[in-house]
Amino acid sequence: MKDYKELGEFLRKRRQELGLTQKQVAEALGYSFPNFISMIENGYKVPLKRYKDFAKVLKLDERETLMRFLMIENEDAVNTLINLPKLDGMDTLLSLITSFCQNLSKDEKLIFIEKVMELLDISKKEIEG
């Protein structure tokens, strides 16, 4: 079982910084059950497909929020990527991406691919500068 407590604590702290109640956040996210926010803040699984909604409501950077959500689901793959001294070519990179995506649902894979494409587009624009 994955540990969602750290993510829940992060979301709670941000909600409190903004002076929002759990009920206000639940309503903004479209949850009819306000206690669901309490459950999330106490370590209940946060739906990855809702990361953009949480980012918007809690006024967080979308990329940072996505990474926090993905790190819970794919902690081993993320740690491998972070700790690599260097990539030995595309085969290694593709292998790591495949490993990272293994446990994602179809929707989560689509989100991941969308974000990779955005990063590639940003990188291309920066290179072309």
Report pLDDT digits (tens) over 68-88. Answer: 887 776 665 566 555 655 555
Does residue 30 carry a pLDDT above 70?
A: yes
Maximum separation of any 2 CA atoms in the chain, in Å: 49
The phi, psi pair for 100, rounded to 5°, reads -60, -40
- Pairwise CA distance, residues 128 & 107, whole Å: 32
* Tens digit of each residue's pLDDT (9 = 90 or more) over 97-119: 777 777 788 778 778 877 877 77
What are the angstrom distances between the C-alpha of 50 and each of 70, 94, 107? 12, 26, 11
All domains in the chain, ordered by first residue: 1-61 (1.10.260.40), 74-129 (no CATH)
Residue 59 · residue 18 · CB < 8 Å: yes
| 1 CB-side CA count, 13 A | 6
Find how far residue 70's CA is from the centre of its chain.
Answer: 4
What pTM does this model have? 0.60
**How many Å apart are CA 11 and CA 24, to the nearest integer?**
14
